[in-house]
Amino acid sequence: MKIIVGQCRSWFVLILSSLCILASPVFADGDDDERRGGARESSQCKQLPGHYALRTALQDAVALETSGYDFNMWATIVDRDGIVCAVAFSGVDRGSQLPGARVISAQKANAANSFSLDFFAVSTANAYSLTQPGGWGYGLLQGNPVNTDVAYRGPAKRFGKHNDPMTGRRAGGAVFFGGGLALYDDGRIVGGLGAGGDTPCADHMIAWRVRHSLNLDEFNPAVAFFPTSGDPNRPDNIVYDIVPNPNGGTGLSPSGVGHTFCLNQGNEKELPPVRY
């Protein structure tokens, strides 16, 4: 009798365990949003260029801009809430660009969007000096960490495609050197663009050309707009004015928005003016 009862209990435990397994949610590869905190969010991405438009503009910009190492590039667009709308690369496949620049492009897009307003555009190039040690913006990087569960989620075969795993999610993060620009449509800020894969100076030049090609550099002349760079025609353009610091370090920028020089940098003054 004891043996029979013991056997019944064993079967009961086995059946109960099986029911628990069947009742548990099944997470397929790339769909474990609730478990990892990477759930897709509603966004304003429908108002912004999609993957195909971004990839086309990026390829055109890379063909036109040959500064830096003339490498292939990554680009990311985020909406005003920081949701990733599109990720693209310019090369033939995801291995044609520096792999690490994908997430960097997303962080640049987020940074430019996060610290710009309708009347105040700040490129990540403009933020370089002020976020260095001793700058009044030092700490912005540490205060805006990247969401690694979003940035590095897989599968990698989707990186840079229309269904890139970052799309529809907030990757966050912040990178403060050239390559990130706020996006403006009819005078309103609508998101951010980030480009990565070459020198920071070349990244800025590429991002600028991509934004212009996508018609998302439409500033509003009716508002009291503050040109961060000092040039109203290129208000958030990169500025090269850093001079050596007698106390060492990264140097001093008289304007406060200066960026370091780069290898084979292009002429930023020849970039197309923004639209008003």
Look at the chain and report how many structural domains it folds into.
Answer: 1
Q: Is residue 72 part of a domain?
A: yes
Cα separation, 262 vs 148, in Å, equals 29
- The reply to whether 276 falls in a domain is no
- 26 occurs within a structural domain: yes
Rounded to 5°, angle at Cα 178 from 235 and 145: 110
- pLDDT, tens digit, for every residue of 230-247? 999 999 999 999 998 887
pLDDT at 195: 98
CB contact at 8 A, 208 and 183: no
Q: What is the pLDDT of residue 42?
A: 75
Contact 34, 41 (CB under 8 A): no
When the pLDDT of each residue in the chain is averaged and rounded to a whole number, the result is: 87
> How far does Cα 235 stand from its chain's mean position?
20
The domain spanning residue 223 has which CATH number? 3.30.450.150
pLDDT digits (tens, 9 = 90+) for 41-95: 778 999 999 999 999 999 999 999 999 999 999 999 999 999 999 999 999 999 9
With respect to residue 85, please indicate whether it lies within any of the assigned structural domains. yes
Residue 4 predicted with pLDDT over 70: no
State the residue range of the domain holding 24: 2-270
pLDDT in tens, 166-192: 999 999 999 999 999 999 999 999 999
275 assigned to some structural domain: no
Distance CA 19, CA 206 (A): 56
